[in-house]
Copies of this chain bind each other. A is one copy, B any other.
Amino acid sequence: MGNFFEDFSIGQKIIHPLPRTISEGDVSLYIAFTGSRFALHSSNEVAKQMGYDKRPIDDTLMFHLTFGKSVQDVSLNAIANLGYAEIAFPNPVYIGDTVSMTSDVIGLKENSNGKSGVVYVHSIGVNQNGDEVLNFKRWVMVHKKDKETSSGINEVPTFAKTTPILDKINLPEIKCVDTDSTGGKFFFEDYEAGERLNHPDGITVDNSDHTLATKLYQNNAKVHFNDHMMKSSPMGQRLMYGGIVISMARTLSFNGLQNAQNIYSINSGAHANPTYAGDTIYAYTEVLETIDHKREDLGLLRLRTIAVTNQKSSEIENPKGEDGKYLKNVVLDLDYTVVIPKKKTKK
């Protein structure tokens, strides 16, 4: 039931089971879970007008459906999900596509206590044609089977601080952005590094909301589902899947980033504190960098979105206190890059 440190070896390839066909039902459920309002994912007509054949899937939904596949093999019994790096969304995904995932073990480090170790994997998700749709690196701490014998293995890969931005972006040429449809007036040129957007809304997440979503993603990490088990854990209740918080933060960011409808990459992220049913999630976003691109129709914004619980995001000046630690109600610190059309596409 889940792998131990000794079950992994450098160069090992893991084919994660359960390819998943993405349907209209998944898309509607995602809107019901989040209230997401990005027009590109809500309307075939908007997608066609922009230059797509049909509406692509929200990148965050695709991430959850694809990522969920790796839980069983990599992190089912993880002591901790330590980090992510270089998450890229190389190609858009559409209704009817089937996504699947494989992982290569790229690093192993035994902890000095001899009881556990860190496993580094490089995971690649593809669609039914073999096109890459998700590509990321991830490291988790897992138990050792044999806590007495030490291997001394210490092969740690290095990661880029941000996911590299390629010359070729596999999105159709954006022909037209109708701001009456997207609900947002701002384009690439309107944003400046250093600016901060306080997203005004807050959304409360209940137990059925987060468990239905996590089950839809076929993510079977037991901490999210098994209240009987969790009642006797220090948390005392089911823990919300961190991806739910990412989805909520992304949804809240609509207010100010309406035209940033595609995620290009996630550079890094921290689930600073756990989130539980009943929490109301708020978020704000800092523009870290505006990144021009040789494509004439679009540019990129590197963003930092902070999600907090049970407090208006405008009331948070800094997510960390004077001691350098996250405030207790900061639940996400996400560094990611979005695609946003340039003004010339404006209708």
Residues of A within 8 A of B (CB): 1, 15, 17-21, 23-29, 31-37, 39, 42-46, 55, 72, 96, 98, 100, 128, 179-184, 200-204, 206-209, 211-216, 218, 220, 222, 225-229, 238, 255, 258, 278, 280, 310-311
Contacts and interface: CB of A to CB of B under 8 A. Distances in A.
Given A15-B180, A17-B182, A35-B214, 14 more contacts: A18-B39, A25-B29, A28-B216, A31-B215, A32-B215, A35-B220, A35-B225, A37-B220, A201-B220, A201-B225, A203-B226, A206-B211, A212-B212, A228-B310
Which of A1, A183, A258 is most buried by chain B, counting CB atoms within 10 A of its CB? A183
Nearest to A182: B17
Given A28-B25, A42-B21, A212-B32, A204 B226 contact: yes
B202 A37 contact: no
Given A29-B25, A278-B227, A46 B72 contact: no
Q: How many copies does the complex hold?
A: 3
Nearest to A238: B204
Going nearest first, the 8 A-B pairs with the smallest beta carbon separation are: A25-B28, A17-B183, A228-B280, A35-B215, A208-B208, A204-B227, A23-B24, A25-B25
A211 B215 contact: no
Nearest to A127: B45
Contacts of A28: 23-26, 28-29, 216
23 contacts: A17-B37, A17-B181, A17-B258, A19-B45, A20-B43, A21-B42, A23-B27, A23-B28, A25-B29, A28-B28, A31-B216, A32-B212, A33-B212, A33-B215, A44-B128, A45-B100, A72-B183, A100-B181, A203-B215, A204-B227, A207-B208, A208-B208, A208-B209
